[in-house]
Structure 1
Amino acid sequence: MYIGYIPVVFYLFILHIQVLGCSTKHCAICSNTEKCDACDIGYWLGEHKFCSACPHNCEQCTNATHCTKCKALFWDIRPNMACGSPCRETCTKFGCNDTTGHCYGCHPESYGPYCYQTCDLCLNKLCNSQKCTNGCIDGYYESTVEAFKCRKCFGHCTSCQSPTNCRQCEKGFYLFNYKNYTVCSQCRSECEECISYSECVCPPGKYGPTCSKDCNISNCKSCIEVDKKVQCSECFSGYILKNGNCIFCSQYCLSGCDSNQNCLGGCKDGWTGLRCTEQCISKCKRCDRIDERRCEICDGDFYTTACSVSCSSSCLTVSESVKCNINNGMCLNGCDNGYWGNKCDRLCYEGCESETCEQSNGLCEICNRMYYGQACQKKCSEHCIDNDASATICYKTNGTCLHGCKDGYGGDACEEELSESTYPSTAKNQVTGMTKQVVEKDQQSVIAVGAGTGGGFLVVIVLIVSIVCILKRKLKSNSNPNVREERTYVNTAITMQAVASTEIEGGIGNIGYDKTADETLQSVYERLDNGAIDDQHQYSGLEGHTDQHDTGYVNI
């Protein structure tokens, strides 16, 4: 029965260790309170299970002399070294490798494992943390055995790839190949320069192994002997070699000369003539081959064959492009903003947006908000409503105000001043601001046709109602003879005036009738009683009859 207590006792032991902790100082893990199994960082575990401090520069160690990791800016984890070496001062704050001491980074203008090499001997002084970016300057080479340090070439070598591989020698020495070596060897005493010990590089006008013979060929810089005959091998500048002789050829020829010394391919800029020996006139870049006074391309912003007139200052300048035509001064690349014309000497109208217009005609594609016209040369009426600072206020084509007219003005362009006496039916609304101007004439036509149609329809309804009422009364009178006959009397003073007014206001006074009010009333009477009317615009059938009302009328 005691076996069941073993797990409980073990659990209580573990809980005891966790609650009370290890009694050994700097112990990270322990199996009991008195024995340590692992120490804190910076300490090492001795054979008696006690934790001791690592050496001063160690971050981690296995004993008193062997570090496994160094603190920042120290290195050397070799046995018994105990991180005792500081990183070099040339290393950055990132320190150095614990094993080799190589810097993790170099300060600017230095390179190498320990950052003690400067970039001064690097080509263009460019280097990274390891070596020169583009190699060393002339006279030096990169030593692969010294961490790419720039070392001086050997002997009289001025350019080399290694101490045993020279590419160019000083004056008085020549490249000498021996087995796998290329070094500089001295020329013989008779030669200032040589390409081998037996062959000198002769000065101008001399030839032979020791440069002791004269060429005696006019304008010849160097010569050789072929089959015991001296021939020129190179001429002085300004001459070309033809059949072993040096003939004159201008240095201003584009492609050399022919046998007559005439230039091939023309002349260089500023020169002319068959042999390109004559200069073009002042300010001329290229001129006629026969007449140097006739310029074909001016040197600068000028025109005329004498390059005597300046191009317009308003011609647009394009890099490496002629600014204006040499014959007439016409600007070839367009105009600066604000100008137009062949010579860009005319101002665009101020109404053009961004002050830009067509070079050929001065027309503008877009006008500023206050202007209109093909060239934006006209200003919108000051009577146009302007309630949006970001929008145009009139049409570009005709100046019609987009948002209507200010109070007291009318017309498409709002230039007509309105008055009540002149426009009784519309002026009142115009003056009080109640009437909106219609911009497009097409819209006015649609409104007029709609109003006329509605007015005519109203007249037809009134006539039909009147006729129906008359017929009903006649039928009623015939069916009951005992009832006093009453004829309906139409209040012509009111009804006809209303009908006429409706016709006039509806815009249909001309549909089958004359346009006067009296004639319109007359037409209505004719339709009501088949033309039976008298001079007083009353029914003839109503004579002798009276109504019961005091007014004397019976209203329909």
Structure 2
Amino acid sequence: MKITCLQVFLIGLTAVFVSITYIHCENNQDCLNCSDSCNNETGYCNGSCTYGYYGSECNSTCPQHCYIRCHRNTGECTDCKTSYYGVNCTETCSERCHHKYCNQSGFCLSCEGPYYGDHCEKICPSNCNEVNGCDRQTGECIYGCNDGFWGNYCENNCSDRCKSACQRHYGTCWGCKPGFGGSNCQLNCIAHCDSCSRNDTCYECSKGWFGNKCELQCPVNCRNSICSKFDGSCTCSKGWYGENCNNTCIENCDSCIDNTTCNVCSEGYYGQYCESSCPSNCTKCNRSGEKCTRCNSGLFGDQCTCDVDQCSKRESLSHCVECKNSGWYPKIGGCCRCSDNCKGGHFKCDNTSGVCLDGCESGYYGKHCIDKCSTHCIGNGTDCNSTTGVCPYGCEPDWYYSTCKYGCSLLTPHCSKCTQFKDNINNFEVAGCDECDGGFYKPVLDEFCAPCENCLYDKCNGRTGRCLKGCKEGWYMDPYSLGKCDRKCDTNCFEGLCDPTNGTCIHGCKDGWTGDSCRFTCSSYCLNKACDQFSGDCITCKPGRYGNMCYDSCGYCLEGTCNQTTGICEDGCNDGRFGEKCSQSCSQCMGGYCNRQGVSNNTLTSCDPVNGHCINCLNGYYGKECDQKCSETCLEGDCKGNGVCSQGCKPEWKGTFCEVKEPAKQTGLSSGSVTGIAIGCVVAVILIVILAYFIYRQRSNEDNTFKTAKMGTLDMNAIQHALDLQAVTKDITEIQANVQIARNVYMAINLSIIVPQTAVHVLINNPVNADLAVEMDFGGNI
């Protein structure tokens, strides 16, 4: 609140009226936007303004897009709301700024893909491998390139021999197309070779070929036409067996050891010799044929006789309680057909449980009559107990147990020869395995046959399991495992393949690994961790490193680059270092620079990177070590690297090094004349001194004459003395000039005679208070 008052002051008998305005901030009502309080004397806000206001009285509104507050005095925004920038936040951030965020200068904090630049005004290179994959400032593809391109900006095409991609910085291929090899796939492999090395050794043969030079063809019936590169061994195609896959298995057999024993039946068949067909609803069944392992579409159950569509009533999605037709009974999931082996047909069964009401037809047994009597029951399998399936008359030879369903291979899987004995408790014949099928062996103290693990052609010793023909691909023999192929090739082997005798990776290592078995990592200083498989030497070093494994640093090389083999700094050294590898420091020099010995203190810039000699010196010094001083007679004391005065000589000096004093100009006087003049000057000076002394004494004796003389009366003797003194003073001045001339001449011709240096001080006090001081030095200055 402002209050104006009229105040009266009395000055003598005169009244003076003065108008004075007082400011009162009652309850801060005039400073509503103060964050603190109002000053009663000034009317200004104490502290700061509330958000959104500025000014001395906080009565001005900040610009619209200021964030929270603005400058108290100027009203300029201290920060802007999102998407705005500028002094008053009136400018809008670029639409390409990520979330439209930018700083006060309008520079985007980050860009929407695929843009970059201060204002996201530029488009990232099209071959960057991510939509947002370039540096916001430079546009470099920081996340690498799309397959087929390399370079900082992915501007280069990979070699067309690369398998897919190549290394981003150098274009080195990550694997080659079949038929090419080398670090950049520059080598043409020999015929039938898909992958080769720099010494033309083939790593991988084309399909259908093997041998060191891939000159031999794989057996015709190798699966997928692939065989071992070493010996041509292979996994046979279906229906073939033998070392060269040139023998056919028995009919309906996919995999066998010989022409009598089948390991795997073709789909739809079962039995020891794959002689029986699976039930019609099965597409695949177990070896005994009793159970389907895969049903036709829509069917399920052990015999594939159940159908989900036959259910007419369900209590839940999976629980069927009633079937559509007779001859079916409900089961979880649907309805199952009663067995056709019920006496009288499948209609003769209980519609709830599926149990055959009148028993089974001949040759079948069980409640549902789905189990078949063994064909190896004596009596041709047509006569067995309808409930248990026991053969009443025993079994045919080599078949065992009460149901005669177990031959050696079924009783003990993969057993080819059994030892028969009587089970007196159960009163039927049983058997123990004595020999195993091909591809299996009988471990000591074990009842079952074990597979020949990872043995080539599944050939192993029947008792020990030792592989007889070597190992399958991807496996090798441990020297302490008694010939078993129980060691898997290291996962770091390229394509997972190794030598089956010792585990050496035959196709090299995956990137980043080294050693015979690829169990050691490449040096972390190898570029992309790529190194030689056997030596571990890096293929290429990371920038700034050198040596076989790139352990050594380029140190003080210019820009940190050096020869990656020798470490020599080919581009020179950083300032203050010298030597082939810039390993020596110039720490003793002025500014940190020196020569090879590091002794100079007068260098200006750097030293030669090879010999350590200083390249430039401070003014006033020269030489390889900047340890020699320029001649004082050089103009401005400056000289070149060889000591020659670079800007000429000081006056009166000449010569390459300004070492010669120039002679004074001749004035027509001979040296003898000059000598005479000089000696005469000395004598004259002596006389002047005597005369000056005489005058001084004379003046002292006659002072009283001047002091007692009456006004208007002249003492002629005193006047005469004064006149004489003036004349003498004039003569002295002329003598001084002559002495200077004589000195100059003397110094100019460099007299060979020695004139003793004489200093004469003359003090003459004349009546006019003119003190005269003269100092003469024939060897120096006047």
TM-score (norm 2): 0.26
TM-score (norm 1): 0.34
Q: Which structure would you say has the larger RCO, counting Cα contacts within 8 Å and 6 or more residues apart?
A: 1
Higher share of residues assigned helix: 1
